[in-house]
Amino acid sequence: MSMSNQDLDPDSTTDEDITTAKEELIKKCEEMWKDLEEYQNKLSLIGTETLTDSNAQLSLLIMQVKCLTAELSQWQKETPEILPLSEEVLVTLGKEEFQKLRHDLELVLSTIQSKNEKLKEDLEREQQWLDEQQQIFESLTALHNELKHQIVTESRTFKELKTKLHDVKEYKEKLLVTLSEFLEDHFPLPDRNVKKKRKNTQESNIQLITLHEMLEILLNRLFDVPHDPYVKISDSFWPPYIELLLRNGIALRHPEDPSQIRLEAFHQ
């Protein structure tokens, strides 16, 4: 009892062929099962006798039978569906694959568009920030150039004023020297040997100052303390010179205290 080893075409296999193969396999299994019972009886009589090579081969065959039986039972439960490779089926499968691919591509496109929108917004925001920074830079550059020009102008003006101040100081020193010489020549102090008459007919020991020194005291007071330019008339002031200054409008008396005088503010 042997089975044909020829491969069966799945498309040409019929129910009758399957039934015949099943009957042959069951018949073979029944025969092997009978042989197994016979060997089992012999083994029970022999006891613990060591198995021979033929008995080991029998056990292997029994295991193969069980595997084949289980595989046959599994194949009987399943009915494979064979799809005919017709043009309509291929078109349907192609459409399904195309729709799936289209859906996947639409998802990818949507994701890329969303990223592009975000990148576009970021680019616009960065461009706006760049424009603002450019405007600030231009404004600061213009201000820097203006300040630079102003500094150059002020520096030149400062140098000119410094030169003028130096010239004025020199001219002032020259005028003071000339005035001092003029006053010493035309307004000298009285003869120191002349005695000043007083009620007690005692000689005066007071040191008189020159007209130049009187004017210097009044001038310093006028500029150092402009809110109170009056000077107390001391005994060192020679009265004729005080009267000279008052009569010519060079000095003025205090409206409430005749013992104080100040220099006329000709600079105001």
The predicted-structure confidence for 115-156, as pLDDT tens digits, reads as follows 999 999 999 999 999 999 999 999 999 999 999 988 888 888
Structure confidence at residue 18 (pLDDT): 63
Instruction: Extract the tokens encoding 122.
Output: 């970021």
Q: Cα–chain-centroid distance for residue 148?
A: 29
Q: What is the per-residue pLDDT for 44?
A: 61
pLDDT of 181 reads 85
Give the 3-state secondary structure of residue 28.
helix
Averaging pLDDT over each range in 13-27, 63-77, 132-146, 173-187, which range is the top one? 132-146
| Mean pLDDT score across all residues of the chain | 78
Per-residue pLDDT at 67: 76
Confidence bin at 196 (pLDDT 50/70/90):
very low
**What average pLDDT does this structure show over 89-118?**
88
List, edge to edge, every strand of the sheet that includes 231-232: 231-232, 260-263, 251-253
Q: Is 138 helix (H, G, I), strand (E, B) or coil?
A: helix
Six-digit token pair at 260?
Answer: 């104080």
Question: Rounded to whole angstroms, what are the CA distances from 105 to 97, 99, 109, 113?
Answer: 12, 10, 6, 12
pLDDT digits (tens, 9 = 90+) for 38-63: 766 666 665 444 545 566 778 778 88
Q: Which of 121-125, 191-195, 236-240 has the lowest mean pLDDT?
A: 191-195
Which element (helix H / strand E) includes 109? helix 87-186
Which helix (H) or strand (E) is 262 found in, with range? strand 260-263
